[in-house]
Amino acid sequence: MWQELIGQEFSVKVLQQAALDSKEALTGKVMPGFSQAWLLTGPPGSGRSTAARLFAATLQCEQNGCGKCISCISVNTGTHPDVKVIAPQGLSYGIDDTKDLVREATLMPSLGQWNIIILEDADRLTTEAGNALLKAIEEPAKLTMWILCAPSSKDVLITIRSRCRIVSLRTPPADAIADLLIKRDGIDKAMAHFAAHASLGHVGRAKLLATDEQVRERRSLVLQVPFELKDLPSCFAAAQRLVDAATEDADIATDEMDEKELNNLLRAYGEGAEGVTKRKVERLASSAKKELEEGQKKRYKRITRDRLDLTLQELAAFYRDVLVLQTGADLELFHTEMKGSIQRFADSSSVNSTIKRLDSVESTRRMLNSEAAPLLVLESLTVQLARA
Ligand SMILES: [Zn+2]
């Protein structure tokens, strides 16, 4: 079951031992690997959510994660009644989102050994929301287990993270990703290696790059940007294109989800009502629809920002490749397929300006987490890149 999580041998051992120790702890023994609050960290695409799910399955399974029993299967398909996966809809978790969670955390498990709550993107907890959760995490109910996920521990409120046992995933090596694409998805060797490097260690992204030509095209458009920044109009045009590319990715990711959710909702409200009841149901349906659409809007905004961040990571990797060639460092390039043009770029600029450009990209990534309008932020970036 754990082979799904690639390149994380050390963390897998820690989590498997933790699950064993947790079973012992249930008998009243004091076990070193036991904790009721975990924080799994790792860069996007390294497999945080997968690790959390597999850990939950291992905790619930009587054979410590056999992958075959009804308990393992139901956790892995998202249907286990005692494993709840919570993800923020918008850019952050608010106080209202956490009230229900605090209640959930007091429940006893109905079938499994533990009542497990997986909180994805715990870095998006507002201070208020974090404080509301703090007590539930600090003094958990006897059979409640928290598994929080975040890009890095420093992104999580210190009050929360200081209560958690931390397990850090690393960026999976490109060779391991290529291997997975070949074995699991039947992708040919050359494409698998290209996608593994181009994905910057993001497993899901690697599969998309290997299988979707449009994703590859958008990526190469992004990587043309450094060559096009000459004057103000070209900077503004490039910024617009970066935003468009992220928006198109987000459209594809959300359209299908949105439609399915709306159909489910209409079906839930639409059947069997007559007369006065029917009008009442219609009123309820329209307010539920409004609520759903608001949630979807928030999610769309979040996914667009996530894609933009990915775009910026690709740009950062480009300038990092430039720096590698400029300094003659003995490192493999991320964008190997464009080595020729990266070399020309490296020859025509200085190490100093490359470092400035890398700084600009990094500070832009931080700014995107605020409420600032993405297009403005990116226009300011492209202008900085042109002037560096
Ligand atoms: Zn099992």
Dist. CA 62 → ligand 1 center (Å): 6
Residues 236 and 164 in one domain: no
Task: Give the three-class secondary structure for 238.
Answer: helix
Instruction: Please give the chain's pLDDT, 388 residues, in tens.
Output: 898 898 899 999 999 999 999 999 989 888 888 999 999 999 878 899 999 999 999 999 999 999 999 999 999 999 999 999 988 766 677 777 788 888 888 999 999 999 999 999 898 888 888 888 998 999 999 999 999 999 888 889 999 999 999 999 998 999 999 999 999 899 999 999 999 999 988 888 899 899 999 889 888 889 999 999 999 999 999 999 999 888 887 887 777 777 777 777 777 666 555 666 777 777 777 777 787 787 778 778 878 888 898 889 999 999 999 999 999 998 888 888 899 999 999 999 999 999 999 999 999 998 887 777 889 999 999 999 999 8
Residues 149 and 6 in one domain: yes
Residues 288 and 371 in one domain: yes
Dist. CA 52 → ligand 1 center (Å): 15
**Tell me, what's the pLDDT at 275?**
65
Residues 10 and 133 in one domain: yes
Dist. CA 262 → ligand 1 center (Å): 35
Interior angle at CA 39, CA 34 and CA 40, nearest 5 = 110
Residues 241 and 151 in one domain: no
Residues 134 and 238 in one domain: no
Encoded tokens for 196: 């593994």
Dist. CA 3 → ligand 1 center (Å): 15
Dist. CA 89 → ligand 1 center (Å): 31
Of 168, 185, 218, which residue sits at a domain end? 168
**Tell me, what's the pLDDT at 343?**
95
Dist. CA 250 → ligand 1 center (Å): 36
Residue 275 counted as domain residue: yes
Residue 374 counted as domain residue: yes
Residue 216 counted as domain residue: no
Dist. CA 73 → ligand 1 center (Å): 7
Of 150, 168, 186, which residue sits at a domain end? 168
In the chain, the number of structural domains is 2
Exposed, middle or buried, 168 (CB in 10 Å: 0-12/13-18/19+)? middle
Dist. CA 60 → ligand 1 center (Å): 8
Of 122, 140, 168, which residue sits at a domain end? 168
Residue 311 counted as domain residue: yes
Q: Which residues contact 221 (CB under 8 A, 6 or more apart)?
A: 241, 245
Dist. CA 66 → ligand 1 center (Å): 4
Residue 181 counted as domain residue: no
Encoded tokens for 6: 């690639």
Range of the domain at 7: 2-168
Dist. CA 64 → ligand 1 center (Å): 6
Dist. CA 42 → ligand 1 center (Å): 26
Helices (H) and strands (E) in the chain, counts: 15, 5
Residue 242 counted as domain residue: yes
Dist. CA 68 → ligand 1 center (Å): 5
Residues 163 and 270 in one domain: no
Residues 139 and 251 in one domain: no
Dist. CA 138 → ligand 1 center (Å): 29
In the beta sheet, which residues pair with residue 39?
148, 166
Residue 189 counted as domain residue: no
Dist. CA 74 → ligand 1 center (Å): 10
Residue 122 counted as domain residue: yes
Indicate left, alpha or beta for 42 from its phi (over 0: left) and psi (-120 to 50: alpha).
left
Residues 156 and 7 in one domain: yes
* CATH number for 116: 3.40.50.300
Residues 246 and 157 in one domain: no
Encoded tokens for 202: 């993001």
**Tell me, what's the pLDDT at 272?**
54
Dist. CA 57 → ligand 1 center (Å): 7
Which residues have C-beta under 5 Å from ligand 1, the single-atom ion?
61, 66, 69, 72
**Tell me, what's the pLDDT at 71?**
94
